[in-house]
Amino acid sequence: MLKTVRYDGANLIILDQSRLPGEISFEICRTVEDVAEAIIRLKVRGAPLIGVTASYGLALGIIKYQGSVLDRDLYFQRIKNILASTRPTAVNLFWALQRMEDIYKQSGDLSTPELGRLLMSEAEQMFAEDIKINEAIGEYGQELLHKDSRVMTICNAGALATCGYGTALGVIRSAYQRGKIEQVWACETRPVLQGSRLTVWELLQDRIPVTLITDSMAGYTMKLGKVDAVITGADRIAANGDTANKIGTYTLAVLAHQHDIPFYVAAPLSTIDREIDNGDLIPIEERPAEEVRQIFGINATVPEVNVFNPAFDITPHDLIDAIITQQGIIKPPYLNRL
Ligand code: MRU
């Protein structure tokens, strides 16, 4: 699998996910602003990857900093704010930036080049840790599936959304290695099609059997008895287990409940926001209307129509049968267990 983000010794090299699967191309980010723009435009996306990329961005900003050491704290805050203001929902972004700031504050009197190296090595470490975390999530999560399971997912919570292996797709990968996956149902995930463009591409590369459906086909597919479990990723999990994830996840959870199908969320602990009591308090990103009005730049409607385009929704905790983390499976009640 291609590396989603890396530092080449001078710049950040980002796999441009907005062009997949038609084109495999890489974006060179030379500045913090370039990194922020790549996150806003979904060239890099997925909660864990947004966090790690922003960390690389902070390190890059310090490496390229030409100002005096006296002004460096202010500059650090400025670039941290640029990165923090890219996308509001995935808490991994704020978690990762905080981790970088903690390293910055503990670093003492380092020269700017030394500080840059320190922060870059922290970002590299986060990248490596994320893969291990996902492998652990996969190991735990596969226990929830029986032989020949047919699993539905939405969006892309795979290697592309992380530093490798994936969360929801990590569970599917681990289960597939044990002969537990007969079929993955990938919901296409309108408006920007992370399911059809990214999840399908990623699974087919690993030869994991996948069938694409449009989002509105999920209920009927369940009704036909063709789904054994639903597994999704998460962008933020409140203290009570309410979970923000890609728009359409809530619909899947309601449908799964209606059809007695278990609904699982797979996410690293950095996705849990203990400061937020419940899902109503999670900020939901609203994205440009053009994403809904158009498909691949072609009008799909009357160009001036009003559009509502929330990028995420909240699945209430009582519709979630388990939350799979790198430290094990959490079952309800979530409040104190999370
Ligand atoms: O808008 P996106 O593509 O960043 O949304 C991604 C998701 O909703 C994923 O399910 C979530 O971030 C988990 S990724 C491991």
pLDDT, tens digit (0-9, with 9 covering 90-100), for 230-241: 999 999 999 999
Which ligand 1 atom sits nearest the alpha carbon of residue 285? 1
| Ligand 1 geometric centre to CA of 141 (Å) | 18
Mutate to test the pocket of ligand 1, among 42, 45, 247 (most ligand atoms within 8 A of CB): 45
Residue 336 pLDDT: 86
Distance of CA 213 to the CA centre of its chain: 21
Distance 237 CA to ligand 1 centre (A): 13
Q: Please report the pLDDT score of residue 1 as a whole number.
A: 74
Q: Name the residue of 235, 270, 323 whose CB sits within 8 Å of the most ligand 1 atoms, as the mutation to test its pocket.
A: 235
Is the N-terminal amide bond of 303 cis, ω within 30° of 0? no
Residue 73 Cα, ligand 1 centroid: separation in angstroms?
Answer: 32
Kindly report the protein residue whose alpha carbon is nearest to atom 6 of ligand 1. 46
For 226, other C-beta atoms within 10 Å of its C-beta total 14
**Which residue minimizes the CA distance to atom 15 of ligand 1?**
157
Given the residues 235, 273, 313, 321, the one annotated as active site: 235
Per CATH, the architecture of 5-135 is what? Up-down Bundle (1.20)
Q: How is residue 196 written in tokens? A: 């059809």
**Separation of CA 107 and ligand 1 centre (Å):** 32
Q: How confident is the model at residue 108 (pLDDT cuts 50, 70, 90)?
A: confident
Partners of 330 in beta bridges: 323
Residue 34 has pLDDT above 80, yes or no: yes
Atom of ligand 1 nearest to the CA of 50: 4
The yes or no reply on domain 139-337 and CATH 3.20.20.70 is: no
pLDDT at 2 over 90: no
| Phi-psi sector, 189: left (phi>0), alpha (psi -120 to 50), beta | left
* The predicted structure's pLDDT at residue 331: 97
User: pLDDT digits over 36-87, tens only?
Assistant: 999 999 999 999 999 999 999 999 999 999 999 999 999 999 999 999 999 9
Which sequence spans correspond to the domains of the chain?
5-135, 139-337
SS3 per-residue string spanning the chain? CCCCEEECCCCEEEECHHHCCCCCCEEEECCHHHHHHHHHCCCCCCHHHHHHHHHHHHHHHHHCCCCCHHHHHHHHHHHHHHHHCCCCCCHHHHHHHHHHHHHHHHCCCCCHHHHHHHHHHHHHHHHHHHHHHHHHHHHHHHCCCCCCEEEEECCCCCHHHCCCCCCHHHHHHHHHHCCCEEEEEEECCCCCCHHHHHHHHHHHHCCCCEEEECHHHHHHHHHCCCCCEEEECCCEEECCCCEEEECCHHHHHHHHHHCCCCEEEECCHHHEECCCCCHHHCCCCECCCHHHHEECCEECCCCCCCCCCECEEEECHHHCCEEEECCEEECCCCCCCC
Q: Is the pLDDT of residue 143 over 90?
A: yes
Give the model confidence (pLDDT) of 194-240 as tens digits: 999 999 999 999 999 999 999 999 999 999 999 999 999 999 999 99
State the pLDDT at residue 243: 98
What are the pocket residues of ligand 1 if the criterion is a CB atom closer than 6 Å to any ligand atom?
45-48, 90, 155, 157, 161-162, 167, 194, 232-235, 245-246, 311
Burial environment of residue 303 by CB neighbours within 10 A (0 to 12, 13 to 18, 19 or more): exposed
What spacing in Å lies between the alpha carbon of 11 and ligand 1's midpoint?
25
Catalytic residue at 228? no
